[in-house]
Each structure stands twice: as C-alpha cells, then as structure tokens.
C-alpha cells in the first residue's frame, strides 16, 4: 500500500514520507522508511495505529543505539516517540516513573539526585526505557527487572494494556510481552541511598565504559548476547577477529563484541562482518552467537 495516499491530517504529530533512518541510528547507515511518525502523546499514537492499515509493518525505535537498518530501508511505518514520552518523575515510596523515550542515563541521574539506589546500572545502557523494557536491558550487575514495578503499553489495535512483573516474563535480554505492544511508560522502585555514593558508583561505570568500550565511535553497542557461561567478546577474540574488517566495518580493537562503522561503511558491510564472526565462532567452538543488535529492513536488490 502507498502510505503517502493515506490521510493523516487528523494527527497532531509529525508524519514524514520516505524518511531517512540513517541519522536515527548510531551506526549512521541504512536506507529510508516508507513513513516515520512522531506522536505528540498516547492519544495521538492510538489515532495513528487505528488509521494505519493492519497489513503495514510497524517498527518502534528509541535512540537507535542497538539498531542496524539495512541499506534498502524499512518497508512500513517507523514510530519514534516524541517529547511527551521523555518525562521522568520521582514519586512517593521510592518510586520513579519514566516515559518510554526517556534516556536510561537520565533516569539513572535523576534517581541518584533523589537519593534512590538501584538504578546506577542504567548509566551503562545507551538507550531508552522502552528499549530496556523490551529486552530486559542490563549492565554492570543490574537488569531492568530488578527495579521494575509496572508498565503500560498500546497494542497494534490501539488498545491500552497494563503489565505487572509476572506478565512481563523477563529473562536474559528478553521480555515475553507481544512484539506489537508499544511501551509508553513504566514505574520502577529503588531503595534509599546516599546521593554522593550513588553518583560515585555511576562515575565508576562511566569510567569503565570509556576505558573498555568504543563509546565515541559509530557503533551499535554489544553486538551479540553472551552465551550461557561464556563471554561473546572472548569467543570472538579467540577466533582471531580483533580488528578484522569487511569493507568499512571493523570489529573493535578495544572490545571485540562491538562493530565499528568507518567512513563509507554500509549496513551490508556491518551485517556481513557480524555473520563472519558468528561463522568463525561456530566453526571453532560449536557455539552459535545470537545477535543482540536488532537488524531490520531490506537489503538493496
């Protein structure tokens, strides 16, 4: 279906046809989306979902930190939540409420300033709360499930849903909520703590990331999930792939579970490099690495 033939004039948010996605991904590669929608609020999001034909694929993106868009782009509608979904508030009884588009690091910082412990690990996750909910984001000894209380979301039919801890079905880098649900906000609970000590812990995480990960490069965060009892980076390193390149893509010299997009890199280069790492690790160890980066869209034909 030609999405530019649909009438979205009743919506308050931004609608872009044939919208570039490369600027929205940390890799800065990939083709355009047929449509990009930024809703003003939950009601606007519901209105859009009800207008959109059910056969049109929908992709929700946050900060684009673990996203690889193929060079042919995404055939469907991409949703990127707007400012109304970035709110963060401290609530009674050590609770924190955050919109799905709120940056993890900002939630960690606000919790620290309020003297709430338990959120420092979010400083090590370069994404949004929505992404952390979807994949039970974790780093430096903590996971979102550790502080999670409840969440709300909207399904493909435009219906609201509330989720408690049990209904999220959290496991390693995964939640069991239907993939068509778009999380809009969540409630978390921490414990009383000393703001100075919490900030010190967060600063240590910042320093650790800077010294062990290529944080100031065009990368997508951790490329592969850690297999049970193993470290993905160690397996890739043992396969002799540190610094290995395909086209403009390179396996990081600093941390081998990170792929780097150099000038001129394409999404095809990055995906091929990841697949080569998977092939060599499988050949060497029998272990199949699973992508943690989300790969979407179509290759160039």
Torsion sign across C-alpha atoms 38, 42, 47, 49? positive
**Active-site residue (options: 222, 250, 271, 278):** 222
What are the residues facing 153 on neighbouring strands? Answer: 161, 183
CA–CA distance from 66 to each of 70, 144, 189, 208, 292 (Å)? 13, 17, 26, 20, 8
**Active-site residue (options: 97, 150, 156, 292):** 292
Which backbone phi and psi does 106 adopt, to 5 degrees? -70, -35
- H helical segments located in 52-186: 104-113, 129-134, 165-168
Which residue has 């999670």 as its token pair? 148
**Active-site residue (options: 97, 156, 173, 225):** 173
Secondary structure in 3-state letters for 21-52: CHHHCCCCCCCEEEEEEECCCHHHHHHHHHHC
Helix (DSSP H) and strand (DSSP E) numbers for the chain: 7, 18
Q: For residues 69 and 75, is the Cβ–Cβ distance under 8 A?
A: no
Query: CA 198, CA 112: separation in Å to the nearest integer?
Result: 6
To the query of whether residue 222 is one of the catalytic residues in this protein, the response is yes
Query: CA 126, CA 162: separation in Å to the nearest integer?
Result: 26
Q: Which of 7, 151, 12, 17 is nearest to 78 (CA)?
A: 17
To the query of whether residue 173 is one of the catalytic residues in this protein, the response is yes
Structure tokens at 64: 């684009």
Structure tokens at 137: 């984001």
Which backbone phi and psi does 269 adopt, to 5 degrees? -60, -45
Q: Give the residue numbers marked as catalytic.
A: 173, 222, 292
């Amino acid at each position: 279906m030609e999405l530019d033939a649909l009438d979205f004039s009743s919506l308050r948010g931004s609608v872009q046809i044939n919208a570039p996605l490369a600027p929205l991904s940390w890799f800065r590669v990939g083709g355009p989306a047929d449509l990009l929608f930024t809703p003003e609020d939950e009601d606007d999001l519901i209105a859009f979902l009800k207008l959109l034909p059910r056969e049109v694929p929908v992709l929700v993106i946050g900060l684009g930190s673990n996203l690889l868009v193929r060079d042919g782009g995404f055939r469907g509608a991409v949703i990127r939540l707007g400012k109304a979904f970035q709110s963060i508030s401290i609530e009674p009884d050590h609770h924190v409420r955050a919109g799905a588009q709120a940056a993890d690091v900002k939630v960690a910082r606000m919790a620290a300033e309020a003297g709430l412990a338990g959120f420092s690990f979010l400083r090590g996750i370069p994404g949004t709360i929505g992404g952390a909910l979807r994949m039970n984001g974790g780093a430096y000894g903590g996971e979102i499930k550790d502080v999670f209380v409840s969440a709300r979301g909207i399904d493909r039919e435009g219906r609201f849903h509330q989720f408690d801890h049990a209904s999220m079905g959290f496991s390693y880098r995964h939640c069991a909520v239907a993939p068509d649900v778009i999380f809009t906000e969540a409630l978390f609970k921490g414990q009383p703590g000393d703001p100075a000590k919490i900030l010190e812990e967060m600063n240590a995480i910042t320093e650790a990331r800077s010294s062990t990960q290529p944080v100031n490069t065009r990368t997508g965060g951790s490329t592969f999930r850690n297999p049970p009892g193993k470290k993905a980076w160690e397996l890739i390193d043992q396969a002799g792939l540190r610094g290995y390149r395909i086209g403009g893509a390179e396996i990081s010299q600093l941390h081998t579970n990170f792929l780097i997009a150099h000038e001129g890199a394409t999404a095809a280069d990055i995906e091929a490099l990841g697949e080569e790492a998977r092939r060599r690790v499988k050949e060497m160890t029998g272990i199949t690495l699973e992508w943690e980066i989300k790969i979407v869209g179509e290759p160039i034909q």
